[in-house]
Structure 1
Amino acid sequence: MAGGKNSTTITEFILLGFSEFPELTAVLFSIFLGIYLATVSWNLGLIVLIRMDSRLHTPMYFFLSNLSLLDTCYVSTIAPRMLSDFFRKHKLISFLGCAVQYLLFSSLGLTECCLLAAMAYDRYVAICSPLLYTATMSPSLCVQMVAGSCVTGFLGSFIQFCALLQLHFCGPNIINHFFCDLPQLLALSCSDTVFFQVMTSVLTVIFGLMSVLVIMISYGYIVATIVKITSAEGRSKAFSTCASHMTAVVLFFGSGIFVYMYPDSGGSSSQNKLASVLYTVIIPMLNPLIYSLRNKEIKDALNVWKKKLFSWCY
């Protein structure tokens, strides 16, 4: 802290993490380390599989590989710092470090909102206009949709980052969380945060509600098309191609809504902290499983490469 009594400025924050469970430090560290390693290995493994198997070089798997890369980066903005804090006596983080962590975390989260919407549009074209699928979802369009998701996600977060740097913090400096999230930072700010909250609400509408709207409209058309399919096998196949994506959408947006729309989101609720664990750590681990367990093409690709690896080894 620097300055006089009436102009004290906080330059560092203390992240409490999971310090309310000191007797579980080793257990929690082991669990989160295992989850982080599994998340990185499963997502990177899925990316490698998609890249190596030519049968998976389709728009759907192009988006899926980018989602896996996004999830790997997403969890890596939170987990390494969280893991190191388990055994730190002084869990200090500078204000700039806190702001940068939020910038990275937020930009990746907003990008995932846009990417999930792009994946819904891909499923809409595949099911509602199958004959035009290859022409519509061209490689250049897929690249543009992914790049657009990344650019808009970063710009949305960068606006918040610039506004966050303008806030004044005069104490206290204790964040009862395991990472620097916006509700906790706003609760500690001594500045007037009305403009910041309005801006955040606008960004939430643009990214959150618009993404959900695109997804809902896409799936509205998809359901209407599937209902018209006379073959039970055809309906089942069509539903199965969308079930994984809808599961990922519900988990991601559902946990986000609970955290950011919950009345105590700026407080110290342990329930809120556990919900944050779900969307920052657990969901990035589950996504490759969700998309792989019921996916015949990925299972077939895995079996082929298992046989190849076995033949190379023996």
Structure 2
Amino acid sequence: MTDLAQLQALVLRHIGESQPILPRVRISTFDRPSEPGWLVYDPVVCFVLQGSKQVFIGDQVLDYGAGDCMVVAAELAAMGQISEASPERPYIALNLSIDPDVISALLQEMGGMPAPPLDKGFGYSPAGPALIEAWRRFAELLDHPAEIPVMAHHREHELMFRLLMGPQGPLLRQIAGTSSHLSHVRRSMAWIRKRYTEHLSIEAMAMVAGMSVSVFHRRFKAISGLSPLQYQKQIRLHEARRRLIADRSEAASVAYAVGYESVSQFSREYKRLFGAPPRKDAGKLQNAVNLGP
């Protein structure tokens, strides 16, 4: 049995359990291909154990599958779908939320590693044997829940060390660097997310990032796949969708709540992003939730 197959078998034993839970780790499983769906990523490492997934970020298409490790280093709006899964061979992935403090601590212990300037917020590559073994050692704590409070911290550090030493290391180092292009753009992203209902100018966004307007626009789009104003619009629309589903609110009240001044413009842009008018889209998703998995 290969190292990856051993890890698959280990994780499969614990699918569906509510406990034990590894800190900041989520197991994703699907037993059939999914429809495309929009989401907003937080910084995360995703390691696919079985099946495959397709993600659209801006005009880029990422296809990754079993044995691939994806790193998302910024709060990105994306569209994703499970492209390969079945009841016999479900899609399985381990998702670890990235803690910048862990990366900073490791870099200090490693004597500091320069973070080459990068204008991207995501990347993926096949996991080598050392990284797969680090994932296995981390995940095997699920078999020994009493050890999780003491050992999870050490196993996470081992895993992040392997990632820092691998192909996605330069991307991860951007997260800890306060002067990196990524850190400046992320500062602006956080500012936009807090004020997404407001009318924000590109000049104000660039000022928060500490960049000129032209440089900010270019680097923001390179990292996120979207222009700054497109990013704000998608944050608005994602929040509108969440409210429509959770609160069963009217489209007009939701449109105004997320910052739109025109309900018709809101409906047009909502349909363009999600493929259906607000009320119809929300109703379909509510029915899917009511029917269960």
TM-score, normalised to structure 1's length?
A: 0.26
TM-score, normalised to structure 2's length?
A: 0.28
Relative to its length, the structure with more helix (as a share) is 1
Name which one, 1 or 2, has greater alpha-carbon Rg: 1
Q: Return the structure number with greater relative CO, CA threshold 8 A, min gap 6.
A: 1
Relative to its length, the structure with more strand (as a share) is 2
